[in-house]
Amino acid sequence: MKICSGIDMRSSAGMEKTMSSILYVVVPCYNEEEVLPETSKRLKEKMTSLIAGNVISDRSRVIFVNDGSKDSTWSIIQKLHQENALFGGINLSRNRGHQNALLAGLMTVKDCADVAISMDADLQDDINAMDEMLQKFHNGCDIVYGVRSKRATDTPFKRITAEGFYKVMNWMGANTVYNHADYRLMSKRALEGLAQFKEVNLFLRGIVPMIGYPTDVVYYERSERFAGESKYPLKKMLAFAMEGITSLSNKPIKMITNLGIFVFLMSFVILIYSLVRHFMGATITGWTTIIASIWAIGGLILLSLGVIGEYIGKIYMETKERPRYIIEQFLNEK
């Protein structure tokens, strides 16, 4: 990770120019009608404070991305936009998932903003951490990750599974920032770098670190969800982990190769053992051994085919070059 110095490396105009930067806050939303009124209230207070302090330009905006919600989320976003130009909205043509919704927001605002901050709508991310993120941006950082300092509000099960998620991801070759979700700051240059990644199978937590550029982290305490239900239960988190691993790493394929070599070598050991037993006159037909071997080898074959199938499926989706999202409407006042 490239740690930023105190010098603005993005512009020769230095601090004077960046202190009036246009900030766009991108917030993906899926069925968030319960929390949006409070989220918009807190974001309005924070943005107003930053504008008053000349930290960001008064042309800065908060953009809510409606990811095909089935409740009144989009209606609330439209009302917020009508009441205050600070708020804007992007309405996707249908539900495309959190990562695609987030990418849609970032790619839509990259030509309007000097810097963008992405965060979830559930108010678990500390909005006040934006101050330190912007300070690091002014000091020359292109990417600033919001990282949880602790997991005191999590249940033991949630803590173990969440921390295990990051460890397994890194072990399998999908390099991510530990305890970082999607709360991050990205400069215009970083957004333009992100736009060059064309894959359909998105895992932004692994893609963003590949961009490079000066990077830093901001630690904060994550709160409990303000209202509504989590959009990432255990089942969905496991699927998300599999998506990330198979999208960013070919280590599982290499593990299958190594496993195949190991089983092949073991077969020679078993063959030698069987011949020794035969010549010693101690051969007895072992039903249990045969059945166990059949099930073990059969299971390994099916598992290997499943992993390879995941990669083939991703190749299939990538070659189709389908759009990652389609925007139905964009509400924004520049």
Tell me: do 41 and 141 sit in the same domain. yes
Task: Give the CA distances from residue 116 to residues 111, 147, 260, 272, 283, in Å, rounded to whole numbers and listed in that order.
Answer: 11, 17, 46, 64, 72
Residues 233-289: tens digit of each pLDDT: 666 666 666 666 666 666 777 777 777 777 767 766 766 766 676 667 665 666 556
- Picking from 266, 158, 165, the residue whose alpha carbon sits closest to that of residue 222 is 158
Dihedral Cα 129, 64, 202, 131, nearest 10 deg: -10
* Strands (E) located in 93-173: 115-118, 143-148
Tell me: do 161 and 73 sit in the same domain. yes
| Cα separation, 149 vs 157, whole angstroms | 18
Tokens 């043509």 found at: 93
Max CA separation in the chain (angstroms): 92
| Cα separation, 219 vs 221, whole angstroms | 7
Highest mean pLDDT among 1-10, 33-42, 177-186: 33-42
Tell me: do 215 and 255 sit in the same domain. no
Strand pairing class (143-148; 215-220): parallel
- How confident is the model at residue 31, as a pLDDT? 92
| Cβ atoms < 10 Å from Cβ of 109 | 25
- Residue 1 included in any domain: no
Tell me: do 173 and 302 sit in the same domain. no
Residues 304-320: tens digit of each pLDDT: 777 787 777 777 767 77
- Picking from 48, 60, 62, 52, the residue whose alpha carbon sits closest to that of residue 22 is 60
| Contact indicator for 204, 240 with CB cutoff of 8 Å | no
- Picking from 99, 324, 134, the residue whose alpha carbon sits closest to that of residue 218 is 134
Give first-to-last CA distance, the chain, whole Å: 34
Which domain, by its residues, includes 97? 15-248+324-331
Tell me: do 146 and 104 sit in the same domain. yes
Tell me: do 154 and 301 sit in the same domain. no
- Residue 6 included in any domain: no
- Picking from 148, 153, 150, 202, the residue whose alpha carbon sits closest to that of residue 180 is 148
Tell me: do 274 and 306 sit in the same domain. yes
- Residue 5 included in any domain: no
Which of helix, strand or coil describes residue 60?
A: coil
- Give pTM, 2 decimals: 0.72
Tell me: do 175 and 293 sit in the same domain. no
Tell me: do 74 and 183 sit in the same domain. yes
Give me the number of domains the chain comprises.
Answer: 2
Tell me: do 25 and 99 sit in the same domain. yes
| Cα separation, 249 vs 304, whole angstroms | 16
| Cα separation, 208 vs 204, whole angstroms | 6
The stretch 89-97 carries a mean pLDDT of 92
- Picking from 96, 39, 98, 73, the residue whose alpha carbon sits closest to that of residue 240 is 98
The stretch 184-197 carries a mean pLDDT of 94
| Cα separation, 333 vs 157, whole angstroms | 44
- How confident is the model at residue 145, as a pLDDT? 94
- Higher-scoring residue by pLDDT: 72, 294: 72
- Residue 121 included in any domain: yes
What Rg, from alpha-carbon coordinates, does the chain have? Answer: 25
- How confident is the model at residue 158, as a pLDDT? 65
Tell me: do 170 and 282 sit in the same domain. no
- Higher-scoring residue by pLDDT: 71, 334: 71
**216-236 as b/e, with b when 16 or more CB fall inside 10 Å?**
bbbebebeebeebeebeeeee
Quick one: tokens of 264?
């092949």
Tell me: do 182 and 222 sit in the same domain. yes
| Cα separation, 145 vs 135, whole angstroms | 13
Based on the number of CB atoms within 10 Å of its own CB, is 315 exposed (0-12), middle (13-18) or buried (19 or more)?
A: exposed
- Is pLDDT at 176 greater than 80 in this prediction? no
Q: What CATH code is carried by the domain that includes residue 122?
A: 3.90.550.10
